[in-house]
Every structure is written in C-alpha cells, then in structure tokens.
Chains A and B, each alone.
Chain A
C-alpha cells in the first residue's frame, strides 16, 4: 500500500498511467467493434456470422487477436526494411495522439490544451504520412496505389472537416474541446447541432445550418477513415488490400487497430463538437463524471454503428466522384453555412 502511495505521489508515474488509459480503452473497444462489425455485416447480408466460439461467437474477436499476435512477421525481400518497420508505428502514433485531446468525461481529458480541435486536425496528417510510408516501403505497386489514393483522399476531406470545426468554434467561442462540451451542458436542447444554448430567435435560425454542418462532418469523417462508400484505398477488387497488402502479424494488427481507433476518434469528435460530448441529454438527470464517460462512449458508439451500417449498405464511389463530392458539394455548402452562421451570430 505504501509503495502504491509513493508511486501515486510521483508525477511522472501518474502521467504515464493516465496517458496509457486510452490505449486500454482502444484495445477493449476494438474487440467490441470487431464483433459488432462482423455481426452487423452478416445480418445485413442475411447470414449469422460466427456462432461457435462462445455464446453467439462472443469469444471470436479474442481468438482472432491471439491468432494475429502469433503470426509470423514477414517483411518482403525487396522492401525498404527500415521504413517498412517504421510505418505502422507512425500511423498508430498519429491515431493515438488524437486521444490526448478527447474529453472522455468532465474530469478525464488527456491534455486540456486550449487548441484541442485544431490539434485534432493537425495530428491526422501523421496518419497520412504513415500510410504513404507503408505504401512506398512495401515495394508493391498495389500498395503504392493504395497509399497515394489514401493520402489524396484524406487530404481532400480534411478541408470540409476543418471548416465544420471552424463553424462550431464560431458558435462556442473556444477551441478547447472540454470548454466546447461544457458550453453544451444541460440537456439535449443545448447541443450545438440544435443551435446551442442561445436565445430562441438565434437558435431557430442557426438550426438548419448546424444540422447541415453536422451531416457534412459525418460524411467527410467516413471518407477520412477510408471506409465504404469511400474505401478506394482498400478497393479489394482492384488493389488487393491497398497500402497494407504486404503486412502480416503484429504490424498488420497495428494498422488494423489504428483504423478502428480512428473510427472512434472521428465519431467522438462529432459527438464532442455537436452532440454535447459527455453531457447527459436529460439535463442534470444521469449526469456526473462517471456517467460522462458512459454518455461520451455511448454517443460515439452509435455513430460507429452507423458507419458500419453505411459500409455494408452502399456501393463504392469512383475516384472522380469522390473528389467531386469533396470539392464541389461539401466544401461550397460548408462555406455557405460558414457565412450564414457568422451573419446570424453577428445579428
């Protein structure tokens, strides 16, 4: 007991412990989402998915994980070995850095910096570099195509994401995600997607624009995590598997984990910015630091579910359609919203 107390008194140990908490969360969450994705996909396609490992196949994700960990780590002979080893690490670092600014609860946020929302946009670029590095180092043309496509797509869709974040920041007046969440505290009516806690006249005028902005943020976040209908980087019918074709074992698992962690991040960003983050939808009922974690994860999980649903429902876009959506549909609409929201706030 005394040992634990001296440990807890040490600032370094405590900060390392606190910074590892999201990692534990990611691993548990990845198992849950893996199971959900397989089951949802199966039921959409009128199958039942795995049923034999545990009750309704509940243990299957754990078996899958054990299998991945034991696989041989194969590095192609002609690959650039140093970059090949480095790429999954950089991609995961970029993903994990985003968790530093996610406000899981009113008392838990990795780093309560003033520029949280801005930081989120910036660290996404590390993932782009990791994916490009993987595509290049594999020395495989499909991997390279996948990597370049993925990078082009993520960069294009960063623009609508950033403008959507700016619109929220204009309403809330802060880039700190904790402040943004506190601004929306006090029930479902105060959420930014419904105009935020402003006077009714402004709120009603803002509401159509905030709803459009939220929808566009959601669409561009699907594109940023490279999922169907925007999964061109992994288009298996033309590119085998995209940038991670040559990866196996633990390194493949890191890309996989990074992908699912990103899926949660983009959903969590949407939740923190538009849907009140950790605040309870019923005002003071069921609110508090621990309920905060529940609400935050539950709201984000709903959007993860919707992304899975969309993935197994819609077909894949063509490259030109993908760029068309980003530059000629989402971006102009968001600029219109930006102008309108600015005008309404000045009124």
Chain B
C-alpha cells in the first residue's frame, strides 16, 4: 500500500466514523460537532478526486457556514439539549422499506457505473479558472438563477428576523 492509499483510508475512516457519531449520538451537541469531522473527511476525499476548488469550498461553506449555523441553533436553544431526542423505534416497517430502497438504488448505481479508473496519479490542474469560465458561459443561466434564489432567501431571512415589535398602546 502506498502513502496515498493509506491517507485515503484515513480520510474514509474519519468521514464514516464521524457520520456514525452524528447518527447514533444521543447528545445533540456532540452530533453537531461530529459533523465537523465528517465535512473535513469529505473535503479530503475531494482532494483525492483532484477537485481542489470543491474541497476548499466544502470547508468554507459547510464548516464555516452551515456547521456554525447549526451550532448556534443548538446552543441558543440550550434548555432543549438535555432532552433525549427520540431514538426509539417508531414505524419500523416503513423505515426499513424506505432505507433499503434507497440503499439498493445507491448500491445499484455504484455497481452499474463504468468508473473512470486510472492507474496513474494525475497532476492537479488549475481548476478554478476552468470552473469560473464554465459558470460564466455554458452554465450562466443556472448560476444566475441560483444567485437570485439565494438573494431572495437572504431578503426573506432578514425580513423575518427584523420583524419590528408593535408599540404597546
């Protein structure tokens, strides 16, 4: 096993182990913090796929944005933290059916895809300029729609947060 394979497995173990903690932990704060390691591991695997821009974006958006937002949410509702989240088995049969259908689909895709495997290690190309060019030419419309949707979401969030209290009579 060469060094790259070992590092890959380290990242894989970090991702899966942290994801298991997120799912199985009964302490909601620990579950939220375990997400950090899951996101970090996924970013490492993106680097192995030669997607350096996506890897760093993953860190910036998920760790810097979404994770911190989740942590704020959990911490500001502090009285709810020691309430055990429902982890009992409710509605076992539908859950098993849905999960097995989903797992079957993913495994099916995994087996039927003709993976583009190369035995040689490729050198990281400059990915950011290519992504930027494609976003402003071929994928301009989806890019603009996404940004407008995000802007609307931002304005909506600001509206809800800024709801001013009515003066008392």
Contact = CB atoms under 8 A, between A and B. Distances in A.
Nearest to B53: A115
Contact of A114 (B27, B33, B36, B52): B52
Given A132-B71, A155-B68, A83 B30 contact: yes
Nearest to B76: A148
A128 interface: yes
Nearest to B43: A122
Contacts of B27: 80
B24 interface: no
Interface string A1-27: 000000000011000000000000000
Nearest to B29: A136
Interface in A245-296: none
The secondary-structure label for the interface of chain B is helix
Contacts of B29: 80, 83, 136
Contacts of B52: 113-115
Contact of B56 (A83, A90, A119, A133): A119
Contact of B64 (A80, A90, A124): A124
Contacts of B3: 11-12
Contacts of A12: 3
Contacts of B30: 80, 82-83
Contact of A125 (B60, B72, B76, B128): B60
Given A114-B128, A118-B56, A119-B56, A125 B64 contact: yes
A166 to B, nearest CB: 12
B68 A129 contact: yes
Interface string A60-92: 000000000000000000001011001000100
A133 B3 CA distance: 32
B56 to A, nearest CB: 5
Interface in B37-90: 52-53, 56-57, 59-60, 63-65, 67-68, 71-72, 75-76
The secondary-structure label for the interface of chain A is helix
B64 A155 contact: yes
A133 B35 CA distance: 13
B56 A151 contact: no
B71 A129 contact: yes
B115 to A, nearest CB: 26
Contacts of B105: none
Nearest to B69: A155
Nearest to B71: A132
B75 A144 contact: yes
A133 B68 contact: no
A123 interface: yes
Interface centre among A86, A126, A129 (most CB of B within 10 A): A129
Nearest to A155: B68
A133 B33 contact: yes
Contacts of A133: 33
Contacts of B71: 129, 132, 136, 151
Interface centre among B3, B30, B59 (most CB of A within 10 A): B59
Contacts of B75: 132, 136, 144, 148
A115 B55 CA distance: 11
Contacts of A224: none
A175 interface: yes
A319 interface: no
B127 interface: yes
A183 to B, nearest CB: 16
Contact of A132 (B56, B68, B127): B68
A243 to B, nearest CB: 12
A158 interface: yes
Interface of B: 3, 27, 29-30, 33, 36, 52-53, 56-57, 59-60, 63-65, 67-68, 71-72, 75-76, 124, 126-128
Interface of A: 11-12, 80, 82-83, 86, 90, 113-115, 118-119, 121-126, 128-129, 132-133, 136, 144, 148, 151, 155, 158, 175
23 contacts: A80-B27, A80-B29, A82-B30, A86-B33, A90-B36, A113-B52, A115-B53, A115-B128, A118-B53, A118-B60, A118-B128, A122-B59, A125-B59, A125-B60, A125-B64, A126-B36, A126-B63, A129-B68, A132-B68, A133-B33, A148-B75, A148-B76, A151-B72
Please list the 9 inter-chain residue pairs (A to B) with the smallest Cβ-Cβ separation, ordered nearest first: A125-B64, A122-B60, A122-B59, A125-B63, A122-B56, A132-B71, A114-B126, A119-B56, A118-B56
